[in-house]
Every structure is written in C-alpha cells, then in structure tokens.
Amino acid sequence: MTTGTQGWHADSALLSSYLAGDLDAVTGASVEQHVSRCATCRATVGRLVEPQLLEQTWTGIRDVVERPALPFAVRLARRCGLSEPTAVLLASAASLRGAWLVGAFLSLSFATLAAYASGGTALAPFLLAAPLAPVLGVAAAYGPRQDPLEALIATAPYGRTRLILLRTIGVLVSVLPVTVLLGLAIPGPPWLAAAWLGPALALVPVLLALAGFVGPRTAAAVVSLLWSGVVLGSTRALAPTWPVEAAQQGVYLGLAVVACAVIAIRAGADRQPGVAL
Amino acid sequence: MSTVELTGVSKRYGRGRIRALADVDIAFDQGVTGLLGPNGAGKTTLLRIVATSIAADSGDVRLLGRDPQRSQAEVTAVRRELGFLPQELGYPSDMTAFGFIEYVAVLKEWNDREVRSQEVRRVLGAVGLADQASVRISRLSGGQRRRVGLAQALLGEPRLLVLDEPTTGLDPAQRADLRRSLSAVAHRSTVLLSTHQTEDVAALCERVVVLAGGTVRFDGAVTDLVATAVGQVWLADEPGEDALVSWRTGTGRHHVVGGRRPVGADPAEPTLEDAYLLMLGPDAQRVHTPS
C-alpha cells in the first residue's frame, strides 16, 4: 500500500482484510486514516459491510446520542435491578434528579449537625426536616406544575395513580436510607434514628389524599405547616423526643389509615376515569 | 358497532353553571372527522371524554366497543389503542424530542427498549423530525413542538386518534406536512380532530361535525355542509346591508355571506367557511354558553 498519494484508493481485498481485523496494527491504522479522508474508499467499505451490521451499529450509535442520560440515583437503582422502563419513568421526576437529592441531603445534614452540636437537647431541626424531606420530594414528583405532561399521563394506559405511587416509592427509597444513617449520628436513644419514620410514612399518604382536593403544592404547604406546628409546639414544654414517642406514633398510624381511606373513597367517586390520586 | 358511540352525553362545569355538552348523540367510525365550532362550543369537552381524560355527567359512552365508565380495566384497554394530543400540552424544556416521545412510549407500555426506540424513531420520522431527535425541546420552534406532540399521539398506530387543535401554531408548509401524516393513518384509524381552521377540515376530513352551545348543529359530509350555503353567498359591489358577514376582497368586490342578495350581486361559489358561518349565525361569535 502506498500512502500520501493523491488519487490512490485501497482495493477491495485490502479493505475486506481491514474490516475483518486481519491487518497488523500499523497497516490497519494507515487504512483507517485513509478511509476517514477518502469518500470513494468509504463508499467501498459501505458496500463490503453487511447492511444489517451497518444498521445495527448506526442504531447503537444513535441510541447513545439520542437517549437521555439517567440521573445518578436512577442509574444506581438500575444496577440494583430496577427495570429499564421504570427507570425512564423515575428519571423524569424532578425530585429524583441530582440537584433535588443533593439539596435534601444537605438540609438533613445541617439538621443532624445542629442536633449533634446541641448534644441531643435540640432535636427539633432533625425531627422537623426528616419527615418533611420525603413529603416535599413526593409533592415535587407530580402535579401539573411539576409535570407538564399531566394531560398525557391521565390518558396513558400506565395510569396517573400508578405513576404517582411509583414516584412516591422512588422518593422514599432514595431519601429514607440516608436519613436513617444521619439519624444514627444524633445523640440520644438508638430508636430515635428510626422513630421519625412513623410521621414520615403517615405524612406521605396525608399529602397524597389532600393533594386530590387542592393539588400537591398546596397540600405540601399544609402538611409542612402542620408538622412544623407539632414539632415546634412541643419544644416549649415537652420532651425533645415527644413528637416521635410511642403514643404519638399511634396517632400517626391512625392518620395514615384515614388518609388511605380517603384516597380509596375518592378513587370510587372521582369523575375522572381511572384516577385515584 | 362504531368505534366511538356517545348516547345522550351531557357535561357541565363550574358546579353545573356552565353547560359544555347537552344530550349529545353521535358516533364515529374509521376516517377523519373534523369538529368545528366557536370557543366554548364543547369541542374540547367532547374530545376529552373520548380520550378518557374526563367522564361524562350522564349518558352512555362506548369507545372501541368498551365502556370506560364500567371499570379501570375497560379504561386501560381503551387507552392502549388511543392516541391523544391535548389542546394545551406542556413540553418539559429539559427533555429532548426523543426523550419526550420515549417517556410517553413507556407510559403507553412499550417496555422493550429496542422495539420502543424503533417506534420512537418511526413517529419522529412520520412528522418530519427524525433529524431533531436529540435536540432539546426548548430549542425547537412552536410548530416543531406541536409536531413532537403529534408524534407521541401516533405511537403504536392507535385505532383511535384524538387531536385537539393539532394545527395551532403551524405555518402553511407544516400544516401540509401534518395533513400528509394524518392522511397516512386515516385509512386504518378513527381520527377526531378539532380546529378553528375550516381549510384544514376541507383538506383532511370526509366528515364534519359543527358544535355550538354544547349541541350538534350539523353532522355530515364536508360537501353537504358546503351545499347548505349555495345561493347565500355573493360577490357584490357594495357590502350587504343585512349580511351575516361581508368583506372587501382583493378584486375590490365584496364577498357577502347571508342576508338578502345585494343589488347587482353575482352568485359566488360558497366555501366551507361560508357554510360554517351561515350554520352558526350569530353563535359563531359566542364564547361561553351559560344556561
């Protein structure tokens, strides 16, 4: 093969060997350089390659270029076995994207730091933030303002209710483990690290039930205010752990049951077909 | 049995104050049907009921042989064969055209990644956006966004295609492209579209339904609607005094629709728009229909 000669073209045999990977490294690189600059040889290569293989390769390249990248949390979930279609649905939720998760993590970290610095006497910041992080995450995962595709979601076979529940689980799974770990750093009884789960798991169905009437944003504001009232009100005369003690956990359980009942009743009575949330 | 059957369907908004549909009986079959009517005529309400987005207050709705008011399973079965382009569709600005359609495809249960990708590319190609697949929606023009919206409705070659004002924001060339895309699916699907553009109906639809005040004013072939205006449209030197509407044309003469024949006027070939205006009369200007 002669290189650097104007008008020279590689013959079919050489190009076939190149395509089969039979050339040595130097000759192969040389042919590749030439093909990248010579339209005639590229056309010959096109004829020598199986059209099916060419199409497959091109589709693979387009797949990488056109397919949007999944957020880190969703990629992580994919590695843990989350199905690819579910990952696509989760990736479009604002509260499962990096910026929101980092924000939630930082807020919880500061709240934990404050509780730690006070030696366990000021638990309010943590007890305030820990249950509200999933509540706000769920509220940010759906609704007309957060998801401009509401009109399509409402008429898709997957269903709005199913999508909201999927995203709710996605938010809980992404926020709860980190919060439990941060809770372990707080001075005080060990059960405190998990005790906030009671109000968190109760406030989420309360949010979903309320959002059916007033939308997720207003519902999130109402739930946040109520929970803030409980936590801040208890700091005046009650023990720092009062909002998450056993008696209150029973109230939260009752609230969760009532909220689920409201959702179920609305599912039967709603004027929009197939919509429970 | 028709693809879509509405019997005695009524719908009110605003705690019953605003009547959107009043006892509507209508059926749709394969082919393209255009819904014409002024704002507030009930077009969007009718399309949303057919798209299972809202339920009727009363009456029977049968879609693709199923009753969506009976069970969730019936609703889901209808939605599997439905393509819907809402009047106002939000477009997530951070998504690419491909990402947007793929997201909708997953909602439509296209679970196999490879097959889904092929389908997404097919519908993007069908609306002439194959080369824009990786472009963010925020960078697309209004017309291109509308075509992305149409592309998602075409996923899976639905048996029932519901398009609420698909030509809004499109320039003439884009509208011609859209007509081409729709005519390709019309032979195998039931297509319902609402529009304010009578020329779209004339170009696309075999059948036209005129709605006003929540009731059906006309239901028939486009040619039959045009025929109702024969003898009521003239070209005159002066605007018609009691005409429903008249305007000066580029030739200097006045196009007169309705009323008495002006002196010295020549009969003119009526257009679909003339017939539509005559059909509605003063209702053509009405916006809401409180009752």
Query: What digits encode the pLDDT tens for the residues B85-98?
Result: 998 888 877 788 99
Same domain (yes/no): B40, B5: yes
Pair of tokens at residue B211 = 């709605």
φ/ψ bin of A159: left (φ > 0), alpha (ψ from -120 to 50), beta (otherwise)? left
- pLDDT of A148 higher than 70: no
Residue finishing a domain among A66, A91, A110: A66
Q: Is the Cβ–Cβ distance between B52 and B225 less than 8 Å? A: no
Residues in chain A closer than 8 A to B110 (CB atoms): 85
Can you say how many angstroms the Cα of residue A40 is from the centroid of all Cα atoms in its chain?
48
- pLDDT of B287 higher than 60: no
Residue of B nearest to A60 (CA): B114
Same domain (yes/no): B8, B145: no
Instruction: Say if the Cβ atoms of A158 and B90 lie within 8 Å.
Output: no
Q: Which domain holds residue A228?
A: 72-269
Same domain (yes/no): B165, B150: no
Residues in chain A closer than 8 A to B44 (CB atoms): none
Query: What digits encode the pLDDT tens for the residues A215-245?
Result: 888 999 999 999 999 988 887 778 878 888 8
Residue B209: which CATH number? 3.40.50.300
Q: Which pLDDT score is estimated for B289?
A: 37
Q: Which of A67, A153, A275 to mutate to test the interface with B (most CBs of B within 10 A)?
A: A67
- In terms of DSSP bridges, do strands B190-194 and B160-164 run parallel, antiparallel, or are they unpaired? parallel
Residue finishing a domain among A66, A92, A108: A66
Q: Radius of gyration over alpha carbons of chain B, in Å?
A: 21
Q: Is residue A256 part of a domain?
A: yes
Same domain (yes/no): A57, A78: no
Q: Which pLDDT score is estimated for A94?
A: 67
Instruction: Say if the Cβ atoms of A149 and B89 lie within 8 Å.
Output: yes
Residues in chain B closer than 8 A to A163 (CB atoms): 107
**C-alpha separations of A223 from A95, A128, A185, A199, A207 in Å:** 18, 12, 26, 11, 7
Q: How high is the ipTM of this complex?
A: 0.80
Residue B54 near chain A (CB below 8 Å): yes
Same domain (yes/no): A115, A225: yes
Instruction: Say if the Cβ atoms of A274 and B76 lie within 8 Å.
Output: yes
Listed by number, the residues of chain B in 101-130 with a beta carbon closer than 8 Å to a beta carbon of chain A are 102-104, 106-111, 113, 117, 121
Residue finishing a domain among B102, B130, B157: B157
DSSP label at residue A24? -
Alpha-carbon gap: B155 to the closest alpha carbon of chain A (Å): 11
Q: Which of A63, A78, A86, A88 to mutate to test the interface with B (most CBs of B within 10 A)?
A: A88
Q: Is residue B58 part of a domain?
A: yes
Q: Is residue B288 part of a domain?
A: no
Same domain (yes/no): B13, B75: yes
Q: Which pLDDT score is estimated for B123?
A: 93
Residue B73, class by beta-carbon neighbours within 10 Å (0-12 exposed, 13-18 middle, 19+ buried)? Answer: exposed
Q: What are phi and psi of B111, to 5 degrees?
A: -90, -25
Nearest to A84 among B91, B108, B113 (CB): B113
- In terms of DSSP bridges, do strands B215-221 and B207-212 run parallel, antiparallel, or are they unpaired? antiparallel
Q: Is the Cβ–Cβ distance between B225 and B218 less than 8 Å? A: yes
Query: What digits encode the pLDDT tens for the residues B105-133?
Result: 999 999 998 899 999 999 998 888 888 99
Q: Which domain holds residue B241?
A: 228-281
Q: Which of A62, A82, A152 to mutate to test the interface with B (most CBs of B within 10 A)?
A: A152
Same domain (yes/no): B239, B276: yes
Question: Average pLDDT over chain B, rounded to whole?
Answer: 88
How many angstroms separate the CA atoms of B101 and B111, rounded? 13
3-state SS, chain B, equals CCCEEEEEEEEEECCCCEEEEEEEEEEECCEEEEEECCCCCCHHHHHHHHCCCCCCCEEEEEECCECCCCCHHHHHHHHCCEEEECCCCCCCCCCEHHHHHHHHHHHCCCCCHHHHHHHHHHHHHHCCCHHHCCCEHHHCCHHHHHHHHHHHHCCCCCCEEEEECCCCCCCHHHHHHHHHHHHHHHCCCEEEEECCCHHHHHHHCCEEEEEECCEEEEEEEHHHHHHCCCCCEEEECCCCCCCCEEEECCCCCEEEECCCCCCCCEECCCCHHHHHHHHHHHHHHCCCCEC
Same domain (yes/no): B178, B76: yes
Alpha-carbon gap: A158 to the closest alpha carbon of chain B (Å): 5
Instruction: Say if the Cβ atoms of B102 and A67 lie within 8 Å.
Output: yes
Query: What is the tally of structural domains in chain A?
Result: 2
Find the chain A residues whose C-beta atoms sit closer than 8 A to any C-beta of B.
59, 62-63, 65-68, 83-85, 88-89, 92, 144, 147-159, 163, 271-274
Query: What digits encode the pLDDT tens for the residues A155-169?
Result: 899 888 888 888 888
Given the structure tokens 């404050």, which residue do they identify?
A: A114
Residues in chain B: 291
Query: What digits encode the pLDDT tens for the residues B57-85?
Result: 999 999 999 998 888 889 999 999 999 99
Same domain (yes/no): A52, A147: no
Q: Which range (A60-69, A127-136, B94-103, B278-287) has the least confidence?
A: B278-287
Same domain (yes/no): B6, B46: yes
Neighbours of A210 (CB within 10 A): 22
pLDDT category of residue B291 using cuts at 50, 70 and 90:
very low
Question: Average pLDDT over chain A, rounded to whole?
Answer: 82
A55/A44: higher pLDDT: A44
Query: What is the tally of structural domains in chain B?
Result: 3
Query: What digits encode the pLDDT tens for the residues A112-128?
Result: 888 777 766 677 888 88
pLDDT category of residue A2 using cuts at 50, 70 and 90:
very low
Alpha-carbon gap: A148 to the closest alpha carbon of chain B (Å): 4
Instruction: Say if the Cβ atoms of B134 and A65 lie within 8 Å.
Output: yes
Instruction: Say if the Cβ atoms of B109 and A157 lie within 8 Å.
Output: yes
Taking residues A179-195, report their average pLDDT.
80
SS3 at position A252: helix
Residue finishing a domain among A47, A66, A85: A66
User: What percent of chain A lies above the pLDDT cut of 70?
Assistant: 88
